[in-house]
Amino acid sequence: MSINLYDLTRAQLDGLLVSWELKPVHVPLLWNYLYLGLADSLDAMPKLPPKLRARLKAHTHFGVLPTAFETDSSDGFTRKYLLALADGEKIETVLMRFTGRVTACISSQVGCAMGCVFCATGQMGYTRHLTAGEIVAQAVHVARALRTAKEPHRLRNIVLMGMGEPLHNYDAVMHAIEIMRDETGLALGAERITLSTVGVVPGILRLAKEKRPLHLAVSLHAATQAERAALVPAAKKWPLDELMAACRTYSETTGRRIFYEWTLIEGKNDSIEHARAVGRLLHGLPAQVNLIPLNPTAGYTGAPTRTEAAKHFQHILSEEFKIPSTVRQRRGIDIAAGCGQLAVADRL
């Protein structure tokens, strides 16, 4: 079976060359071509020795993801890519520009099994996990697009907030993060990688045990079990009390705060009482709350909280509970590139 080069860490690439009875001294050059030169074919690697080139041609492939469609938001900062996978499936990846930095929002699955009612990916259902190479290839795609466009900033930040639940695909996601963090390649620092989970308790506990150096975001959306289960079906499997116990363990074990995400839905979870319930739930925990006004999707009729109500919610968290919070900048809404909007249209 042909090996996707994006599936391999640098150490694994070393091992592959040794198994071919070739000197691993050639690995730095090959690695540089992949992640510094962003080469997309053997033709773009002219300095490789003939024996290595022949082996690569016979036994490996470049897991480059072709662009099936791309579109720019009218906000001038956001571009969304529909990328084609080798088996005919498709995923969405988003490039977001902020002052002084560029962030890629990348997917971890085709679809999602968690079924959050207001999320387009949850509405399309689950098809399969992505491989580590398919996750890495999205970051490479964005980095290559930035270089092609001669943009002034390189890719510096990754958010695993695209299609899918990252902790449902734990091993592939962590393997991909290891590749993306390699200091001689894409060199994405752990402090610049954020993983968002709907609350997969075993995955959170595993992150804690392994002390993975990355930012963790937990999609909360409600402060009682009944309200959360109505929005997030996964809460029936991992109830709120179990989730909060896992979050407490994570923070105590790693010493890291958690970013708690709260999608603000008008009349559902945006009242002063809801804000105080969040404050009580997170009291004593190292936490920051990211408030995200609901983004529209075809399968959910709720409306986003109005700006004034969001400010009141934030004021309660800050003044009464001393919990820092931010209201998420809305980007790419007109091209369905916002939080909760990613999906493959023909699968809905």
pLDDT tens-digit map of 198-237? 999 999 999 999 999 999 999 999 999 999 999 999 999 9
Q: Which residue numbers are catalytic?
A: 92, 339
CA gap 225, 186 in Å, rounded: 41
* Conformational region of residue 31, where left means phi above 0, alpha means psi within -120 to 50, and beta covers everything else: alpha
Contact 166, 188 (CB under 8 A): no
Select 3-61's CATH number: 1.10.150.530, 1.10.1530.10, 3.50.50.60, 3.40.228.10. Answer: 1.10.150.530
Q: Is the confidence at residue 111, as pLDDT, over 90?
A: yes
Look at residue 347 in the predicted model and tell me its pLDDT.
55
Q: Is the confidence at residue 267, as pLDDT, over 90?
A: yes
Superfamily of domain 67-347 in CATH is Aldolase class I (3.20.20.70)
Distances 207 to 113, 195, 245, 252, 268 between C-alpha atoms, Å: 20, 11, 14, 12, 31
Dump pLDDT digits (tens) for 132-188: 999 999 999 999 999 999 988 899 999 999 999 999 999 999 999 999 999 999 999
Dump pLDDT digits (tens) for 1-15: 899 999 999 999 999
For the chain, the domains span: 3-61, 67-347
Q: Which amino acid is at 83?
A: L
